[in-house]
């Protein structure tokens, strides 16, 4: 349960930006987080609160959800990673670059290779 006295609520849109990208480079969508909240995943549900017509979660709730869905998985325990949720400002998402900027950088790199630099 989200404790509003200890946890800062964030919108589901904000929460999508806090999660790492999927292996294909795409981000999780609000619809995915909503489905995790309503139906769950691997027996765990993402904790949310409803304020008016807006649904919120918290960084701590995201952490609890990730730990819960990975309990039966092999590998290092997520709890052993010792993530400091108090300093959540360190978890800012990287700004996404536009396709145009990526293509321009690739073009510049090809130009440098051609010039032998």
Contact 49, 56 (CB under 8 A): yes
Distance, in Å, from the CA atom of 79 to the CA atom of 52, rounded to the nearest integer, reads 34
Q: What is the pLDDT of residues 50-82, one digit of tens each?
A: 988 889 999 999 999 999 998 877 655 545 544
* pTM score of the predicted model: 0.60
Contact 69, 47 (CB under 8 A): no
> Under DSSP, is residue 106 helix (H, G, I), strand (E, B) or coil?
helix
User: For residue 32, what pLDDT is reported?
Assistant: 92
User: For residue 102, what pLDDT is reported?
Assistant: 64
Q: For residue 12, with 0-12 CB atoms within 10 Å meaning exposed, 13-18 middle and 19 or more buried, which class applies? A: buried
Report the chain's C-alpha Rg in angstroms: 19
Q: What is the pLDDT of residues 10-58, one digit of tens each?
A: 899 999 998 888 888 889 999 999 999 999 998 899 999 998 888 999 9
């Amino acid at each position: 349960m989200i404790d509003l006295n200890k946890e800062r609520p964030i919108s589901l849109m904000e929460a999508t930006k806090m999660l790492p990208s999927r292996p294909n480079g795409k981000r999780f969508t609000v619809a995915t987080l909503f489905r995790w909240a309503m139906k769950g995943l691997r027996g765990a549900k993402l904790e949310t609160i409803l304020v008016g017509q807006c649904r919120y979660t918290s960084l701590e709730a995201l952490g609890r959800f990730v730990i819960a869905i990975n309990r039966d998985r092999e590998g290092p325990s997520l709890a052993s990673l010792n993530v400091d949720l108090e300093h959540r400002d360190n978890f800012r998402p990287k700004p996404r670059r536009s396709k145009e900027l990526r293509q321009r950088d690739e073009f510049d790199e090809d130009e440098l290779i051609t010039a032998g630099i």
